[in-house]
Chain A
Amino acid sequence: MAGRRGRSELRIPMIDELGQFALALALALSLAQTVLSLAARIRRDGALAGAGEGAAVGAFAAVAIGFLALIHAFVSSDFSVLNVAANSHTAKPLLYKVAGAWGSHEGSILLWCLMLTGYGAAMAASRRLPFALKASAVAVQGALGVLFIGYMVFASNPLARVALPPVQGDSLNPLLQDPALAAHPPFLYAGYVGFSVVFSLAAAALAEGRVDPAWARWIRPWTLAAWSLLTMGITLGSFWAYYELGWGGWWAWDPVENASFMPWLLGTALLHSAAVTEKRGALASWTALLGLGAFILAMMGAFLVRSGVLTSVHAFAIDPRRGILLLVILGVAAGAGLGLFAWRAPRLKDEAAFAPISREGALFVNNVLLAAATATVLAGTLLPLIREAIDGVPISVGAPYFNVTFTALLAPALILLPAGPLLAWKRADALGALQRLWAAALIALAGALLSLALVSPRSALAAAGVGLGLWVATGALVEAAERVRAFRAPWSEVGRRLGGLPRGAWGMTLAHLGLGLFAMGAAFETAWRAEAAAALQPGQSMRLAAFELRLAQAGDVVGPNYEAARLLIRVTGPGGRLVCEAAPERRVYAAGGQTTSQVAICPGLLDDVYVTAGDRRDAGVGAGAFLVKAYWNPWVRLVFLGPLLMALGGLVSLSDRRVRFAVPGRARQPLAQAPAE
C-alpha cells in the first residue's frame, strides 16, 4: 500500500524491505566473519581465513545496500519510512535530504555500522598482516560488527515503515541544514570508527602475545587515517557551531564536543607512543592500551551523545532503553578489551631502556600530559552524571573549569614540543637541542613582547599564549630546516635532502605547525575579541572595536523553506573605509516553527566581523528596532586553519611509502598471507 502513494514513479518499490533484509544479512555475515576467522586462527586454516575475510567484505556490501536504501527513501521523500517522516520534508534542498539520512539516531547508527564494516573490509583486504594476527583482528572486528549491527537491527531499525504514512514530513532541524554539518558526521564517524581497526589489531596482538615494532608499524596507517578524519570532523563541527549558532565562539566545552575530543586526545597520544614502539620497541603495553582506549572512548562518545544522558546543545532523542543497550555494548567491548589487556600485558616484553632526556622521554612526557588532559575532560564530562547518581546533587562543569585545567596541561606540552623532534633516541643532549632552537625562541619572545606592548587591553597570559604558539610553529620550521641542513650545507645538498625527506617528516612538521598556529589564534581570539550589542533602527549605528556598524535597511525575504527578516548592515573601518555589507537574517522555518539566526561574517585575512540579527521590537520605546549583536574575532581564522593543517599533516604522513596500504614494487614482500611462525 505505502509504496503506491504520491510520486511513486520516482520510487523503486520494495527497496526499503530489501534494505532491511540486507541489514539482517549483514548481521549474519558479521557473525560468520567472527566464527570463521576465529576457527581459521585456531586451526591455522588459510581457506577458513579467506572465508572470514570474504564475510567481512560481504557484511560491508550488505550494510552499504541498507544505507543506499535509506538514502533512496530520503531522496524520494518516502514518508512511509518512519525515519524519513520524522526527519525530512519535500521542500528541503537535495543536499539536506541526503544528509538527513544520518541526521537521526537510527541513521547515524547505520552510518556508524557502514564505517565499521567498511574498515573491516579494508583490513580484510589488506595484504600486509601476518596470518595469525590478521585472522584474530578480523574476528574481533566481526564481533564489534555483531554488537553494533545487532543493536541496529533489533533496537534501532533505520528503515522501519509506518502503517499510516503522513502526507508531509516533520523536516530536519533547520540548524542542521548546513553544508559543514552535512559533512561533519561522516568525517567524525570515519574518525571514531577508524580507531576500531586499531582496537581490533591491539586486541589481536595482545591475544597473540606480540606487541612489537612491526605491529606498531601496522597500526600506523589506521591510526593516521582515523586521527586525520577525526581532526577534520571536529574542526567542521566547531566551524559550524561558530558560524551557525550565532554566539561568536568556536568551542563551548559542551559535553558532546568533549565526547569527540577525548578519543582525539588519546588518538594523538597513540600516534606518538606508537612511534616509540615502532622505532625502539619500548612502551609496547602502553601503546596497546592506547589502541584499545581510543576506540573505547569513541564508543563512549557515541553512548553519551546517543543515549540522552547528557544535557547538551546536541539535543538528541531521549530513549532510556536504547541508552542502556548502548551502555551494555560499550561495557562488553571495553570490558573484553581491557580484560584481555590486564591478562596479557604483564607478559609483554618492554625492556628497551632510555634516559629521561631522550626522544623517548619527550614522547613519554607528551603522552603523560595528553593522558592527563584526557582525564580532565573525562572527569569533567562524567562527574555531573556520577554526582547525580551517587548523592543526587546536580552540578555543572563548564568552560571555566576546562579552560583552567586544560591550559595548565597544554602549556607545558607546548613548551616542550619543539625540543622533542630534535632530541636523539635513547639518550640526548638537551642543551644541544635548545641551542638549535635559539631562532625560534627569539621569534617567540619577540611575538609575546609585541603582543604585550601593542594590544590593548594588556594581557600577559594571552601574550604568553601567542608567544607559545609562535614557539611551536617556528620550532616546527626550525626542525624541518635542521633536517635538510638549511643554512649549513651547500644549497645543492639542501635540495637533495629536501627531495629525500620522507613524507612522514613533512606530515609531522605540518601537524606541529598547525598546532602552533591554532594556539596563537586561540590565545589571541579568546583574550582580545570584542563584542557589541544594541537595538538599532534603520539609520542608527553602533561601535565595535575600531569598526562602525550602521543598519542601512531592513526587509523581508522568502527562502525555499523559510521566511526571514534580513538586515543590511554597513560595516566601516577606521577613516570610514567600507569593510563590507553584512546581511544577517532572522529565519522562521514553516515546517517546524523554529526560529534561527543566520550569521553574517565579514571575513578578513585573519579576522572576522561577525554580525547576528535578533528579534524585532514591536512595541514600546524604539518600536521597529532590531537587536543587533556583533563580534570582532581577531585571528579566528587560525583557530580553523591550524587544525586543517594538522589533518593535512596526518594525510601526508599516511601517503608515506612506508605506511601505504598496498605497497608497490620491491617493498611487497610475502610477509602477509604466509601462515607465519
Chain B
Amino acid sequence: MRALARTGLALTVWALLCAAAADPADRLADPGQEARARALFKDVRCLVCQSESIDESDADLARDLRQLVRRQVAEGRSDDQIKAYLVRRYGEFVLLTPRLSLGNSLLWGAPVAVLLAGLAALALRRRPSTAPDAETLTPQEEAALKKLGPEERT
C-alpha cells in the first residue's frame, strides 16, 4: 500500500514537473473554480512539510499537489471526488480534517462527551431550597478568610 502510494507520488511529481509553471501563473482562468480549488487547498496537507496545508507551503510538492487539485477542479470533479482520489493515493494523512469514522470517534466524541457530562452535572446539582437559608460558609471558614485580609464588598 505504502509502496503504491510512493510510486503514485513519484509519478505525480514527474508528471507535474513537466508542466512546471510559475506560481501566480498557475491559477485557473475561471475565478469560481480557482476559489473552489483554494478552499480545497486549505484541507490538503503538504505531505513533506510540518503540519502545513498546501495552501500555505512553498515546497515543490505542495505546488505539484495544488496543480493536481486545480486540474481535477477544471475537469469538473466534485470536492468529495477529489478528496477521495487524494486519500486513495496518499492515505488519510493527506486530509487535514479527519473523516468521521470509528477510529476518529474520540476526536468528535470527546468534546461532546465533556459538554454533555458537564451540563448533566449542572442540571443534577442540588438547588438551594426556596426558604431563606444560612450562609454556606461555615464559621471556621469565614474566620479563616477574615484572617487573610479585608474583603471589599463587590
Contact = CB atoms under 8 A, between A and B. Distances in A.
A261 B110 CA distance: 17
A280 B136 contact: yes
A438 interface: no
Contacts of A373: 111
Given A353-B128, A663-B149, A505 B154 contact: yes
Contacts of B149: 657-658, 663, 667
B81 interface: no
A614 B50 CA distance: 20
Contact of A405 (B53, B111, B136): B111
Contacts of B148: 128, 214, 217, 658, 667, 669, 671
A125 interface: no
A369 to B, nearest CB: 8
B98 interface: yes
B145 A400 contact: no
Contact of B98 (A280, A354, A396, A502): A396
Interface in B91-147: 91-98, 103-104, 106-108, 110-115, 118-119, 121-123, 125-129, 136-138, 141, 144-145, 147
Contacts of B137: 213, 280-281, 352
B105 to A, nearest CB: 10
Nearest to A215: B144
Contacts of A312: 50-51
B70 interface: no
A606 interface: no
Contacts of A280: 136-137
Contact of A397 (B98, B125, B145): B98
Contact of A214 (B24, B114, B127, B145): B145
Contact of A622 (B22, B93, B112, B126): B22
A254 interface: yes
B75 interface: no
A658 to B, nearest CB: 5
A473 interface: no
Interface string A651-662: 000000110000
B98 to A, nearest CB: 5
Interface in B61-98: 91-98
Interface in A332-384: 351-356, 361, 364-365, 367-369, 371-373, 375-376, 378-380, 383
Contacts of B94: 396
Contacts of A367: 118
Interface stretch (A113-121, A167-175, A387-395): A387-395
Nearest to A397: B98
A608 B11 CA distance: 41
A214 B91 CA distance: 55
A396 B51 contact: yes
A351 B136 contact: yes
A372 B145 contact: no
B107 A397 contact: yes
Contacts of B121: 364, 368
A436 interface: no
Contacts, number: 182
Given A387-B103, A400-B96, A365 B122 contact: yes
A311 B51 contact: yes
A375 B111 contact: yes
A627 B148 CA distance: 63
Among B51, B98, B136, residue most surrounded by chain A Cβ atoms (within 10 Å): B51
B92 A534 contact: no
A411 B139 CA distance: 40
B150 interface: yes
A404 B98 CA distance: 12
Contacts of B112: 372
Contacts of A617: 22
Contacts of B30: none
Nearest to A365: B122
A416 interface: no
Contacts of B108: 405
A379 B106 contact: yes
Contacts of B138: 281
A533 B111 contact: no
Contacts of B113: 375
A456 B122 CA distance: 42
B19 to A, nearest CB: 14
Contact of B92 (A393, A535, A614): A393
A252 interface: yes
A505 B127 CA distance: 28
B91 A353 contact: no
A393 B91 contact: yes
Contacts of B154: 483, 502, 505
A500 B151 CA distance: 12
B16 to A, nearest CB: 17
A281 B136 contact: yes
A671 B127 contact: no
Nearest to B25: A535
A290 to B, nearest CB: 13
Given A354-B128, A386-B106, A368 B91 contact: no
B131 to A, nearest CB: 12
A378 B110 CA distance: 9
A1 interface: no
Contacts of B107: 379-380, 383, 397, 401
B43 interface: yes
A212 interface: yes
A165 interface: no
B106 A371 contact: no
Given A217-B145, A401-B98, A483-B154, A427 B128 contact: yes
Interface in A514-556: 533-535
B103 A391 contact: yes
A671 B145 contact: no
A666 B148 CA distance: 10
A604 interface: no
Contacts of A396: 45, 51, 92-96, 98
B43 A400 contact: yes
Contact of A372 (B91, B118, B122, B136): B118
Given A375-B111, A409-B111, A671-B147, A361 B92 contact: no
A351 B144 CA distance: 18
Given A356-B123, A378-B110, A252 B136 contact: no
Q: What 8 A-B pairs are tightest by C-beta distance, nearest first?
A: A398-B96, A368-B118, A667-B149, A352-B136, A214-B144, A372-B114, A379-B110, A400-B97
19 contacts: A214-B144, A247-B56, A281-B138, A282-B136, A356-B122, A356-B127, A368-B115, A372-B115, A373-B111, A375-B110, A375-B113, A379-B106, A395-B92, A396-B92, A397-B96, A397-B97, A404-B97, A535-B25, A658-B150
Given A368-B118, A426-B136, A505-B154, 19 more contacts: A217-B148, A247-B56, A315-B50, A352-B136, A364-B121, A365-B122, A368-B115, A373-B111, A375-B111, A379-B111, A394-B91, A395-B98, A396-B45, A396-B51, A399-B53, A427-B128, A502-B152, A535-B23, A671-B144
Interface of A: 128, 212-214, 217, 247, 249, 252-255, 280-282, 311-313, 315, 351-356, 361, 364-365, 367-369, 371-373, 375-376, 378-380, 383, 386-387, 390-391, 393-401, 404-405, 409, 426-427, 483, 500, 502, 505, 533-535, 614, 617, 622, 627, 657-658, 663, 666-667, 669, 671
